[in-house]
Amino acid sequence: MNKVQTSAVGHILLVDDEPAYQRLGSSFLRNLGHRVSVAGDVDEALQAFVQDPPQVVLLDLAMPPSMDPEAGLSLIPHFSSAVVVVLSGHGDRDLALRAAEQGVWDFLTKPIDPDMLRFVVTRAMHKARLDEELRELRAASLAHGNGEMGLVGQTACMLQLRAMVQRVAATSVNVIVLGPTGTGKELVARALHQGSRRSGGPFAVIHCGALSAELLESELFGHLKGSFTGAYRDQPGLVETAHGGTLFLDEVGEMPAPMQVKLLRFLQEGSFMPVGGRELKKADVRLVAATHRDLEAMVREGSFREDLYYRLKGMVLRTPSLAERQDDVPLLAARFLRGVASHARLTPEALSWLAAHEWPGNVRQLRATVESAGALIMPDSELVDVDLLKFASGESMSLPEISAAIAPVSMEAGALDAAIAELETRMIRDAMEQAGSNQSEAARRLGISRVGLIKKLARLGLKT
């Protein structure tokens, strides 16, 4: 059997409301060489955890103000980046099972035997070290493995961007990603998350431009049952969901002014108030914000708060337009094609056409064009030629011209629905590309309402 390392010391958060136990427990643990923080109730525990994250949490589930073990249980997900050991009374089997389901590592029964405490804490600290090593290895393999982090491209500006992403990911600063639409700002945010110590935690996304101020507030900070018509139950917001991880604020430049104030308060104090709530809540999230707009100009004009801008801007990364890295077009196109038709190839003329084409929708538009062409390829062919690309890009709408290149219509059961869905998908993609991803404009081009478009996007599983 492997011996537990006795040298594993680190930072422990002891959460217990009994002063005598706080004193004895913390001095015992300090004598073992650990650094110990103490919290006596739920709020203190959350605050202590956010301010100085420990490796191990020793948690008594029954604590003030309610003394209800449910409150203790609800704390556990907030401690997901640490190893949690629950301190429980005898006979709490049900509670122990539920705590285990939430990811608790071990249990100690009160009154606590010092030898047992030493043993369990040493094991927990050892596990925390292993978790940390695993996170570091994951981050390193992302950084040095294929090195791509989902960001395909070999031009100098992409190599530079990837190097910056790696360096910034390892820090805990908030990041603003600037760049035209469809250039991979969300991919950068995901790579920052994957390369960070938070990679084991959640990655949540919110599109600040798609929602009214009221909905945005409720989506971000959650709401309580009955706080507005239709609020049938308590709903946690994305800030809470992303606790321990990263929250990506897409199109932050569109955020309505009242929400900018609320977001600023969260950034300054780490606390927020759910809609209809009376008590402030805390959450520990790294923010990555993106926009295709000129945020600095918006600050100068006064449409984006300067104080919020500086809170978000720990670091600024810029994603280049496709026009700035045209040499990457063949590589990107080959990758996207391989994703939908592993056997297919682009003809040399098709590659030249792609390289010479203008892509106002950037990589998103290139991807949609190549993937549509790949999906339309004949079963017995492996070539994507210029005609197919022109049709897929919407440049050529005359069917006879390319009908020979399209697979025959299937007569299998359900074929009509599938064909209609495919046609809708194609037309919506094209309209979104031509509208530079502006939903109102795309809806206008398609002759439907914006709400109708959003519903279709959701039904067809397309990005909103």
Ligand X SMILES: Nc1ncnc2c1ncn2[C@@H]1O[C@H](COP(=O)(O)OP(=O)(O)OP(=O)(O)O)[C@@H](O)[C@H]1O
Residue type, 404: A
- Min CB(391)–ligand X separation in Å: 21
Q: What is the dihedral of CA 237, 71, 116, 92, to 10 degrees?
A: -120
Say how far apart CA 3 and CA 115 lie, in whole Å.
Answer: 16
Say how far apart CA 427 and CA 457 lie, in whole Å.
Answer: 11
- Choose, by CB under 6 A, the member of 4, 100, 187, 421 that binds ligand X: 187
What is the footprint of ligand X within residues 247-286 (CB under 6 A)?
250
Say how far apart CA 243 and CA 266 lie, in whole Å.
Answer: 13
**Which residue's CB is nearer to ligand X, number 6 or number 154?**
154
Residues in Cβ contact with 226 at an 8 Å cutoff, skipping those fewer than 6 apart: 276
Element (H, E) at 108: strand 106-109
**Residue 403 near residue 436 (C-beta atoms within 8 A):** no
Say how far apart CA 273 and CA 445 lie, in whole Å.
Answer: 40
- Strands 281-282, 175-178: pairing kind: unpaired
Residue 39: phi and psi, rounded to 5, are -135, 145
Does residue 123 belong to the site contacting ligand X (CB under 6 A)?
A: no
Say how far apart CA 164 and CA 291 lie, in whole Å.
Answer: 18
Does residue 10 belong to the site contacting ligand X (CB under 6 A)?
A: no
- Choose, by CB under 6 A, the member of 10, 40, 69, 179 that binds ligand X: 179
Say how far apart CA 6 and CA 80 lie, in whole Å.
Answer: 24
What is the footprint of ligand X within residues 308-327 (CB under 6 A)?
319
Does residue 364 belong to the site contacting ligand X (CB under 6 A)?
A: yes
**Which residue's CB is nearer to ligand X, number 101 or number 294?**
294
- Min CB(151)–ligand X separation in Å: 4
- Min CB(90)–ligand X separation in Å: 53
- Min CB(349)–ligand X separation in Å: 24
Piece of the chain touching ligand X by CB under 6 A; list 37-45, 177-185, 197-205, 443-451: 177-185
- Min CB(153)–ligand X separation in Å: 5
**Residue 225 near residue 231 (C-beta atoms within 8 A):** yes
* Per-residue binding letters, 417-446, with ligand X (x by CB under 6 A): --------------------x---------
Say how far apart CA 261 and CA 281 lie, in whole Å.
Answer: 17
Residues in Cβ contact with 36 at an 8 Å cutoff, skipping those fewer than 6 apart: 11, 12, 13, 14, 25, 26, 29, 30
Residue 328: phi and psi, rounded to 5, are -85, -10
- Choose, by CB under 6 A, the member of 162, 193, 223, 292 that binds ligand X: 292
Piece of the chain touching ligand X by CB under 6 A; list 50-58, 218-226, 253-261, 361-369: 361-369
**Which residue's CB is nearer to ligand X, number 385 or number 433?**
433
Helix (H, G, I), strand (E, B) or coil at 104: coil
Does residue 151 belong to the site contacting ligand X (CB under 6 A)?
A: yes
- Min CB(68)–ligand X separation in Å: 43
- Min CB(439)–ligand X separation in Å: 11
- Choose, by CB under 6 A, the member of 285, 363, 370, 392 that binds ligand X: 363
- Choose, by CB under 6 A, the member of 126, 185, 282, 286 that binds ligand X: 185
Nearest residue to the partner ligand X, using Cβ: 184
- Choose, by CB under 6 A, the member of 37, 181, 369, 393 that binds ligand X: 181
**Which residue's CB is nearer to ligand X, number 10 or number 320?**
320
Piece of the chain touching ligand X by CB under 6 A; list 7-15, 43-51, 145-153, 259-267: 145-153
**Which residue's CB is nearer to ligand X, number 41 or number 441?**
441
- Choose, by CB under 6 A, the member of 152, 298, 448, 454 that binds ligand X: 152
- Number of chain residues interacting with ligand X (CB under 6 A): 19
Does residue 153 belong to the site contacting ligand X (CB under 6 A)?
A: yes
176 DSSP β-pair partners: 289, 316
Residue 114: phi and psi, rounded to 5, are -55, -40
Does residue 196 belong to the site contacting ligand X (CB under 6 A)?
A: no
Piece of the chain touching ligand X by CB under 6 A; list 4-12, 180-188, 262-270, 385-393: 180-188
Element (H, E) at 145: none
Piece of the chain touching ligand X by CB under 6 A; list 95-103, 148-156, 215-223, 382-390: 148-156
- Region of 230 (left: φ > 0; alpha: ψ -120 to 50; beta: rest) is left
**Residue 117 near residue 108 (C-beta atoms within 8 A):** yes
Say how far apart CA 314 and CA 308 lie, in whole Å.
Answer: 11
Footprint on this chain of ligand X (rule: CB under 6 A): 151-153, 179, 181-187, 250, 290, 292, 319, 363-364, 367, 437
